[in-house]
Structure 1
Amino acid sequence: MIARATIVSTWLLSLAAAMPANGATEFRARGIIFAQHDITMSATVPGVIKAVCVHLGDRVSARDTLVVMDDGLLSSELAVHVASLSVARAELEEAMTAHELAEKAASRLHGAPTAWSQADLDAADNEVSKLHSVVEQKRSAVAREEASVQHARIEIAQTVIRAPFSGSDSDLWVRFAVTEGESRCAAIGATVRVLIKARNKGLTAVVRHMGSTVDPTTQARILEAKLNTPATRLRVIQPGMTAEVECDPTSGVRGR
């Protein structure tokens, strides 16, 4: 009985010596980098990106240019529509002049009806009606070309993608999952180490959010930590990158 008690006591003492003072255990988890304030922006017209005017971490104001797409093809289409509009307007002007002359001629005939036969009067009226239809057709053609020009100009404007609001993308976070035992090491305010292999960058992050529920299958909960990212590294670290997150139990809990 005494021997068994001695063995149990020795095992408990060795376990206590192996664990950090705060009762946490070390862990290594795979995480993903994300931006706390994320917005998805996409081009409304197809094309090739010509220039990216900002980088991750740059501060922008509303309406600042973010991306410029090549508008060469759209500009060519606009030039064609502008030329067609010029032709359509000239044809409308010509049709309106012809219609005006026909109306004056018909008016003169009707001013002296006894000097002209009914057939002559009807022919003059028919000519006015025919030219009126031509004017309406030309006016519709002008409206179509004006709409085409306006549409082309809108598409060209859409090749410049602008910031919808002021702000900065410098707040980067890492999301990862830990088990219940490991979460004692990654409590709110704890500092964790983050290794981004794609860029061979090692950073630290402070745990700010912890999921309130535990996944019944994996027995893990989700944590989110804010990266302590130097400005010089913002341009090489992007949302969507994977990272390894590990806890140093000796670092203690910081940043409460």
Structure 2
Amino acid sequence: MTAPDISKLKIERGATAPLRRPKPWKWLALGAVAVGIIAVFAGRGAGKVDVETVTVAHAWPSQEYTLLNATGYVVAQRKAALSSKATGRLEWLGVLEGSRVKAGEVVARLENRDVSANLGQVEANVKVARANLEQGLAEQADAQQAFNRAQELLAQKFIAASSFDAAQARLNKAKAAVAAQRAAIAAAEASARAARVAVDQTEIRAPFDGVILTKNANVGDNITPFSSAADSKGAVVTIADMDTLEVEADVSESSLAKITAEQPVEIQLDAFPELRLAGVVSRMVPTLDRSKATLLVKVRFNDRDPRVLPDMSAKVAFLSKPVPEPDRKPVTAVQPAAIVQRDGKPALFVVAGEQARLRPVRTGRKVGELVEVSGVKPGDKVVLAPSEKLKDGAAVAAAKK
């Protein structure tokens, strides 16, 4: 076998393509763009003064009278879980959460066809007993007349003594029958009262004027007095007398010397921070909680507000004296370090956007750690401890804490 001839095999080496290099003007353009970007980021914030800011707030002059602060919850002094002494299925429910009811008003009713039928039966028995009494009274009247005639005839010797004795026995029997019939009426009426009570026990009534707080059962639920059966409910609704709302606050044992009965207080609700309500110390529970070393103090509202609801969180400020009416309103206040003197007058640097604007203000009394001011509004941000070099309209940036 002849070996292949590989002498003619070769690789064609053509001219290689020249390497393309970017033109110099493109490098210059890219460099200019990069420099511009760097200049923008480097210039951002250039010339701005780093300042610390605070917020203008509401301050309450009443804190000047505060001796002690405590926290607690709003509770209803008069509150009840309404149920029934009877056992049955809830047939009707006439209230919802938030419904206002009057004392004695029916709020729910159980099925009562059986007890109503029993009531009808015993009331019929009362009527039967009364009819029997009428008949007995008629018999007694007839026996009395017969006895009177027999007595006259015996005196005239017209009848024998045995006839008189028979008339007297008949009268005595009639009187005994009337007495028995009166007793039967009393028994029937007692049964009727018991039946009416049984019917009344199927109706759940409000024990006092109040507001329905919770609805614990629905129509069709089985109701038992103490919810002892499976799949049954005890209380149908919970009611509270909103006129008896008060605050229960825990006070440290070491602070009890600052509290007395009928001491004025100011109540602040967490749900409405701007609402301050006047009150007094109603009573102090005469025992301490050993585990927390606190005493339960109950505070009564002087000011009624419909927004106050049971179980709201509240703060109680125990005061040295009642707050005067002018001091019961909040004032605008700011930290003293934010106030500067410009041209001999007090002023604030209000931060608007990224600029500090000089705004003249009028200062008033000191309220706690703040100073009352006018000319700004709560929520404005102002510069804290501005330097003498800070000017109106200067660019500022909030310093990071």
Give TM class, smaller chain: 0.5 to 0.7
C-alpha deviation, 1:117, in angstroms:
0.9
C-alpha deviation, 1:205, in angstroms:
7.4
* Alignment CA distance shift 1:117-1:54 (3 Å): same
Instruction: Determine which of 291, 312, 320 is the counterpart of 1:217.
Output: 291
SS at match of 1:63: coil
Deviation string, structure 1 residues 9-40 (Cα, Å, up to 9, x no partner): xxxxxxxxxxxxxxxxxxxxxxxx98524422
Distance 1:222 1:88 in 2: 61
Greater shift after overlay, 112-121 or 158-167?
A: 158-167
* Alignment CA distance shift 1:144-1:41 (3 Å): farther
Distance 1:175 1:86 in 2: 57
Instruction: Determine which of 90, 109, 113 is the counterpart of 1:72.
Output: 113
The two structures, once aligned, show a CA RMSD in angstroms of: 4.7
Mapping of 1:42-191 within 5 angstroms? 42-43=82-83, 45-48=85-88, 49-113=90-154, 114-169=157-212
C-alpha deviation, 1:116, in angstroms:
1.0
C-alpha deviation, 1:54, in angstroms:
1.5
Distance 2:247 2:93 in 1: 25
* Alignment CA distance shift 1:82-1:34 (3 Å): farther
C-alpha deviation, 1:74, in angstroms:
1.7
Letter in 2 for 1:39: K
Structure with the greater alpha carbon radius of gyration: 2
* Alignment CA distance shift 1:37-1:145 (3 Å): same
Deviation string, structure 1 residues 135-178 (Cα, Å, up to 9, x no partner): 1101110121122223322442343233233333567999898x
Distance 1:164 1:34 in 2: 22
Distance 2:105 2:134 in 1: 43
Distance 2:289 2:141 in 1: 82
* Alignment CA distance shift 1:205-1:47 (3 Å): farther
Distance 1:104 1:121 in 2: 12
Contact 2:144 2:171 in 1 (8 A): yes
Contact 1:95 1:134 in 2 (8 A): yes
Distance 2:248 2:201 in 1: 34
Q: Name whichever structure is richer in strand by fraction.
A: 2
SS at match of 2:166: helix
Distance 2:153 2:297 in 1: 97
* Alignment CA distance shift 1:43-1:118 (3 Å): farther
Contact 2:143 2:171 in 1 (8 A): yes
Distance 1:151 1:34 in 2: 41
Contact 1:47 1:70 in 2 (8 A): no
C-alpha deviation, 1:222, in angstroms:
7.6
Query: Percent identity between the aligned chains?
Result: 24
C-alpha deviation, 1:103, in angstroms:
1.7
C-alpha deviation, 1:105, in angstroms:
1.7
Letter in 2 for 1:54: V
Deviation string, structure 1 residues 164-201 (Cα, Å, up to 9, x no partner): 33333567999898x9xxxxxxxx87776xxxxxxxxx
Q: TM-score, normalised by structure 1?
A: 0.54
C-alpha deviation, 1:80, in angstroms:
1.5
Extract structure 1 runs of 4+ deviating beyond 3 A. 41-45, 169-177, 188-192, 204-209, 212-224
Instruction: Determine which of 40, 46, 54 is the counterpart of 2:80.
Output: 40
Which structure has more relative contact order (CA 8 Å, sep 6+)? It is: 1
List alignment gaps of at least 5 residues for structure 2: 1-72, 214-241, 253-265, 299-305, 314-328, 331-401
Contact 1:59 1:167 in 2 (8 A): yes
**Hey, what does 1:11 align to over in structure 2?**
none
Distance 1:124 1:174 in 2: 81
**Hey, what does 1:201 align to over in structure 2?**
none
Distance 2:106 2:267 in 1: 37
List alignment gaps of at least 5 residues for structure 1: 1-32, 180-187, 193-203, 240-244, 246-254
Paired residue total: 194
Q: TM-score, normalised by structure 2?
A: 0.37
